[in-house]
Structure 1
Amino acid sequence: MNVFGTVKTSINTREAAERYGVEVNRHGKALCPFHNDRHPSLFVDDDHYHCFACGEHGDVIDFTSKLHGLSLYDAAKKLAYDFGITQDKPPDKAVQEKLNKKSEARRLRENEKLCFSALMEYYKLLQEWMILYAPKTPEETPHDRFIQACHHLSYVEYLVDLLVMGDSYERTEVIDMMMTDGKLKKLQTYLKKMKKEEKACERRKDFAR
């Protein structure tokens, strides 16, 4: 078992946050250490964290990496050291059973990161379209992108909320839905296409100047 697997099996995100001085209340909320947070906007669960203000999101290793300015590998080593995990000692039966039970959870967590990243990017894009392409007058025919934003923004926001605040069952449901019939891959491809179109548009504007 490598240091990443050992750390993720043995230490949860809330334990690490509290160990490193972040006070988490009974609702899982805390002041975010990644920006000047005056009102608790950080949500800390056992297997992930998310800031509703600055958008920081990840697992226990991501949290430690960001908090201390370390690479992911160095963050994992720091966690192992700070929590007294000995890498040279093979896991006992209880730890191994815990690892086996969480193997599927880790796979889901990796998929969850991919789903969250794509959905959050799409959500921000739809928010921009709601503003940029809103009709200027009641008589103006709505732009296709404005219509798309109207149709999908609330649903995408709902999916993002489930990945952030939902329980394990709800998050798994979102992940399974996104993985079915290549939905995630299609969304990622669509977002890349939109980025290319945006860059091409910017180049045309610069050339026109």
Structure 2
Amino acid sequence: MNVFEAVKQSVTTRQAAERYGIKVNRNGMCVCPFHNDKNPSMKVDRRFYCFGCGATGDVIDFVSRLHGIGSKEAALMLAQDFSIPYEDGRSAGKQPIRPRLRRETEEQKFKRMERHCFRVLSDYYHLLRRWKEEYAPRQPDEAWNPRFTEALQNMSRLEYLMDVLLSGDIQERAALITGHGKEVRNLERRMAELTAGNAAGSKEHGRNRRADPER
């Protein structure tokens, strides 16, 4: 089995997307990395399809386009990153080989960091937008919820930061990634904690419902 066949049988596009830093929600949707997509419009499973720009293909097509490399290089990258053995056509009859480790180029590293930074900021922005609606005061004399205040204080700044990542030159984008790296890591950690807390709360609510069906 050659590297193309081995990779396509072993790795789904969703697995590759998550391996290379793209966040996929429970429905298999993610922000499309191939156009200016602010909301998840790409479906990733074994193959991928973007409902916004029409990009489609298999896992090798996805990685080839994501990293700006050829199909064979993309297949070899996947084989290396997922430790997939394959037959080398030059060594018929021999045992399957594993690809040699390849180092990530500086350009690939920068693109990965850029995508990760934008994804965290975008997730936080959409969280704040939801808080702004859910926690808005309903009465003129009602005290402001801290989450509503946080949304008002940070949404405009986040819009600016995301705009720099989308349309700024490489120096501006690099400066943002370097200057806000710690903030992005803290935001990512905080949102993970919020998600874990919400999940725990939902489970507790479910247990209470089962324990008291009259509720």
Aligned counterparts of 2:61 and 2:184: Cα–Cα separation in 1:
28
1:194 aligned residue: 194
Question: Within 5 Å, which residues of 2 pair with 1:50-65?
Answer: 50-52=36-38, 54=40
1:148 aligned residue: 150
Aligned counterparts of 2:41 and 2:162: Cα–Cα separation in 1:
11
> Helix, strand or coil: the match of 1:157?
helix
Tell me if the contact between 1:126 and 1:153 (Cα under 8 Å) persists in the aligned partners: yes
Gaps of 5+ in 1: 1-41, 57-61, 83-101
Question: Within 5 Å, which residues of 2 pair with 1:1-209?
Answer: 49-52=35-38, 54=40, 67-72=55-60, 76=64, 80=70, 103-179=105-181, 182-206=182-206, 207-208=208-209, 209=215
What TM-score, normalized to structure 2? Answer: 0.53
Q: 1:75 to 1:145 in 2, by over 3 A?
A: closer
Tell me if the contact between 2:61 and 2:71 (Cα under 8 Å) persists in the aligned partners: no
Moved over 6 A (4+): none
Aligned counterparts of 1:142 and 1:124: Cα–Cα separation in 2:
20
Report how many residues are paired.
138
What TM-score, normalized to structure 1? Answer: 0.54
Aligned counterparts of 1:74 and 1:172: Cα–Cα separation in 2:
25
Quick one: which amino acid aligns to residue 76 of structure 1?
A: S
2:20 aligned residue: none
Larger Rg over CA atoms: 2
Quick one: which amino acid aligns to residue 184 of structure 2?
A: L
Quick one: which amino acid aligns to residue 50 of structure 1?
A: N
Report the RMSD for the aligned CA atoms in angstroms: 3.5
Give 1:147 shift. Answer: 0.7
> Helix, strand or coil: the match of 2:36?
strand
Q: Report the structure, 1 or 2, having the larger helix content.
A: 1
How many percent identity over aligned positions?
24
Aligned counterparts of 1:185 and 1:126: Cα–Cα separation in 2:
17
Quick one: which amino acid aligns to residue 68 of structure 1?
A: T
Aligned counterparts of 1:144 and 1:75: Cα–Cα separation in 2:
41
Gaps of 5+ in 2: 1-31, 43-47, 73-103, 210-214
1:16 aligned residue: none
Quick one: which amino acid aligns to residue 200 of structure 2?
A: A
